[in-house]
Amino acid sequence: MHKTATAIAGSIAAAGLVLAGAGTANAAQTAAPGEGTYLVGAELAPGQYAASGQVDDYMGCYWKRLSGTTGGFEDIIASDYTHAERVIVTVLPSDYAFESEYCGTWTRIGDVPVAPLPDLTGPVIGAAVVGSAMVGSAVLPLVMAGSSGV
Question: For residue 89, what are the contacts with CB-CB under 8 A and spacing of at least 6?
Answer: 48, 49, 51, 63, 65, 80, 98, 106
So what's the pLDDT on residue 135? Answer: 54
Provide the CA 75 distance to its chain's centre, in angstroms: 17
Low-confidence spans in the chain with pLDDT less than 50: 1-28
**Residue 92 burial (CB count, 10 A):** 13
Nearest to 36 by CA among 107, 97, 82, 121: 97
If you ran DSSP here, which 8-state letter would residue 32 be given?
E
User: Radius of gyration over alpha carbons of the chain, in Å?
Assistant: 25
So what's the pLDDT on residue 134? Answer: 56
So what's the pLDDT on residue 9? Answer: 40
So what's the pLDDT on residue 133? Answer: 55
Main-chain phi, psi angles of 96, to 5 degrees? -85, -40
Predicted confidence (pLDDT) per residue in 1-20, tens digit: 444 343 434 433 333 333 33
